[in-house]
Amino acid sequence: MANKKVTIVDTTLRDGSHAIRHSYTEEQVAAIAGGLDAAGVDIIELTHGDGLGGSSYNYGFSKVSEFDLLTAASAKIKNAKLAVLLLPGIGTIADLKQAQKCGATAVRVATHVTEADVSAQHIYAAKDLGMMAVGFLMMTHMASPERIVEEALKMESYGADYINLADSAGYLLPADVKARIEAVKNAVKIPVGFHAHNNLGLAIANSLAAIESGASYIDGTLRGLGAGAGNAQIEVLSGVLKRSGYEIGADFYQLMDIAQEHIDDIMLRPQTIDNGSLMLGYAGVYSSFLLHVYDAVKTYELDPRDIMVELGKRGMVGGQEDMIIDVAYQLKQNLEK
Amino acid sequence: MAERIKVAIIGPGNIGSDLMYKIFRSKHLELAMMCGIAESEGIKRARSKGIPTTIEGVDGLIKDGDPDIKIVFDATSAAAHLKFNGPKLKEHNKIAIDLTPAAIGPYCVPVVNLKDLEEAPNINMVTCGGQATIPIVYAVSRVAGAEYAEIISCISSKSAGPGTRANMDEFTETTAKAIEVVGGADKGKAIIILNPAEPPLMMTDTIHVKVKDTSVPFETIRDSVEEMVKELQQYVPGYILRVPPVMEGDKVTVIAQVEGQADFLPAYSGNLDIINSAAIAAAEKFAEKMLKEGSNA
């Protein structure tokens, strides 16, 4: 396995956007994207945390339009691919075309793990536009490896350049990651990647398990900035991969430097595993629900853990932030009865 | 006076079959033809109920259908409605109720704007999410204005057919447009989520409206929404509010649930039930008018 090349995908400017409530400015993204590019990161993802078109009441409004942010970032990028996330049902092909005009060269089309067929339209469009297209399956803890294979094969058939499996709830244990990555790797002809969340403190361990099981693209963020307890901390991941004998394009020291210079100051809260994040991982709930649950708790005076357990029981999927209000309202009604 | 107006359905799939059962319950409509393009399950089902059928699509309807057929439901695809069904129905002077995203004619959300469309030869039923949310947007905008309205529609994976899945953008873009045109919001946004939970979840719809006039008392907005829900329930009995209007600053939020009537499709397919129920409500209104005019003549 030594000297195997691993492609680093930085999503500080996309998943990290959740942790700072979508408040990135043009100056911030220019500095961070420029730094990541200079450090040798292969792919830099930038959009609202919920992808193109995510700016909304449901997911939080962006301080600055993602198209302006893309333009600012692309001006500083010389080598890396600038990627956007697109969730069919939220973002559209019209948004993708606009993003391309602003400098995006790749798109990750994300669907719930059992719903890959809704990505066909967007993957076809991306290929027609000459963009790299990634099939991105979310909440992979909610389906068996066999089912995930079926969905990955669909995305491959639409023309995806690689398949990314996301542990969106930070729920998977290393053995679960291994089973999923191996199954998909054995079934598809394209590369496989992995996106971790740290809700159970396993983001780095799971990322390493994914790579050892055949994944060659790996997601991370500076300082781990991301939804819930955050993602695999990219500077840590780089150190771990170097120690493990993998070849990564990015410079370890430079990544540490960008994190210290540009991320520490913009963090709204330390990216630790607080009780709410731990419950996300434990109950299998979509990580970006965290801050919305904290908001609902203020309005409805409830224990955030009760809301998360109920969301988990109901089988809510990514994007259903509106159901936090529903759950909070129903729990409050029951308490008052 | 003639008791019922003759109608036909083009497209004998899930939507068409559910429409058929709804027409059987209608006081003013009589199903006079089911049109398909193959000897399908839906065609056989209609025939077994004694309904004349054709497998030559809209051409079969024009050639062999009862000339008294006045209203035609199109439950095929946007492409078929644009290229064939829409123009041919117009040529032969039949009112088209378009359940595809083609939207040749104006958007119709019966409880909001049917009264303005009585002369329209072709109306479009927007989307399932539009039928479930635009009445609420309108209920808020008519009393307090709406600078922005956003809806999140969640349907069970099992009730999202291949047409919806192959074209998610059609749903979001059409619904957003109709939130503006029919709902009265300056800017509309629509989000759709498919949830695969088992047993399948009921359709839920969240509506957020940013009001223009914050001096309007909350009670006025709440009463307007409640009145709208009562009117809507006349043709969609399974429509309820899970979360009644709540207001935070200038934002009104409502969460609705739609349980289907299970005419042909399961109860969790509230999304399909509401668009079909809206189409039937529109047809009944047209039929009522025709019957009235007929008896006066």
pLDDT digits (tens, 9 = 90+) for B120-142: 999 999 999 999 999 999 999 99
Distance between CA A312 and CA A285 in Å, rounded?
5
Between CA B117 and CA B60 the distance in angstroms is 28
Q: Are residues A167 and A246 in the same domain?
A: yes
Give A159-185 pLDDT, tens digit per residue. Answer: 999 999 999 999 999 999 999 999 999
Confidence of residue B161 (pLDDT cuts 50, 70, 90): confident
Flag if B173 and A94 touch (Cβ within 8 Å): yes
Q: Which of A117, A142, A320 sits opposite B165 (nearest CB)?
A: A117
pLDDT band at B297 (very low <50, low <70, confident <90, very high): very low
- Rounded to a whole number, what is the distance in Å from the CA of B191 to chain A's nearest CA? 5
- Kind plus residue range of the DSSP H or E element containing B280: helix B270-296
Residues A197-246 pLDDT 10s: 999 999 999 999 999 999 999 999 999 999 999 999 999 999 999 999 99
Final residue before a domain boundary, out of A266, A300, A328:
A266
The domain that holds A160 is classified in CATH as: 3.20.20.70
Query: Quick count: other Cβ atoms within 10 Å of Cβ B114?
Result: 18
Do A291 and A323 reside in the same domain of the chain? yes
Of B35, B108, B128, B154, the active-site residue reads B128
Query: Which pLDDT band holds residue B295 (cuts at 50, 70, 90)?
Result: low
B206 contact residues in A (CB cutoff 8 A): 58, 322, 325-326
Task: Please give the pLDDT value at position A3.
Answer: 56
d(CA A231, CA A246): 20
Residue B146: is its pLDDT beyond 90?
yes
Is the pLDDT at B263 greater than 80, yes or no? yes
Query: What is the value of ipTM here, to two decimals?
Result: 0.95
Tell me the CA distances in angstroms from A146 to A117, A184, A193, one per residue in order.
16, 8, 17
Measuring CA to CA, which residue among B251, B279, B290, B210 is closest to residue B20?
A: B279
Residue of chain A nearest B257, judged by CA positions: A326
Clarify whether residues A293 and A196 are in a common domain: no
What pLDDT score was predicted for residue A290? 94
CATH number at residue A285: 1.10.8.60
d(CA A106, CA A82) in angstroms, rounded, equals 6
Mean pLDDT of B55-63: 97
Q: How far apart are CA A91 and CA A70, in angstroms?
A: 15
Domain count, chain A: 2
Q: Which of A242, A266, A290 is the last residue of a domain?
A: A266
A323/B150 touch (CB, cutoff 8 Å), yes or no? no
List, for chain A, all residue ranges whose pLDDT scores fall below the cut of 70: 1-3
pTM summary value = 0.95
Angle at B280 between CA B289 and CA B62, to 5 degrees: 80
A25 and A77 co-located in one domain: yes
- Claim to verify: residue A237 and residue A324 sit in the same structural domain: no
> pLDDT-based confidence at B2, cuts 50/70/90?
low
**Are A242 and A281 within one domain?**
no
| Residue B190 CA to its chain's centroid (Å) | 16
Taking alpha carbons only, the member of B110, B137, B142, B140 closest to residue B126 is B110
Indicate the pLDDT class of residue B164, thresholds 50, 70 and 90. Answer: confident
Q: Is there a single domain that holds both residue A314 and residue A166? A: no
Distance from CA of B198 to the nearest CA of A (A): 9
User: Is the domain of A169 the same as that of A255?
Assistant: yes
- The per-residue pLDDT of chain B, averaged, comes to 95
Contact (CB, 8 A) for A230 and A198: yes
Please tell me which of the candidates A92, A120, A326 has its beta carbon nearest to residue B243.
A326
CA pair distance B47, B29, nearest whole angstrom? 18
Mean pLDDT of B26-53: 97
Co-location of A194 and A327 in the same domain: no
Q: Which two tokens stand for residue A220?
A: 């991370």
Distance CA A214, CA A179 (A): 11
A228 and A98 both lie in a single domain: yes
Token pair for B10? 């083009």
CB neighbourhood size of B115 (10 A): 9
Any alpha helices (H) in chain A, and if so which ranges?
15-19, 26-38, 66-74, 93-101, 120-128, 145-158, 174-187, 203-212, 234-243, 252-258, 275-283, 289-300, 304-314, 322-336
Place of tokens 């697109």: A86
The two structure tokens encoding residue A174: 């290393």
User: Is pLDDT of B1 > 90?
Assistant: no
Q: Is the peptide bond before B199 cis (omega within 30 degrees of 0)?
A: yes
- Residue type, position B203, single letter: M
In this complex, is the C-beta atom of B230 within 8 Å of any C-beta atom belonging to chain A? Answer: no
Rg over CA atoms, chain B: 19
Domain residues for the domain of A332 are: 275-336
- The predicted-structure confidence for B209-253, as pLDDT tens digits, reads as follows 999 999 999 999 999 999 999 999 999 999 999 999 999 999 999
**Are A193 and A110 a contacting pair, CB within 8 Å?**
no
At A336 the pLDDT is 86
Looking at the structure, tell me whether residues A234 and A324 fall in a common domain.
no
Listed residues A220, A242, A266: the one ending a domain = A266
Active site residues of A: 18
Asked if residue A280 and residue A261 are part of one domain, the reply reads: no
Burial per residue of B186-202, b for 16 or more beta-carbon CB atoms within 10 angstroms, e otherwise: eebbbbbbbbbeeebbb
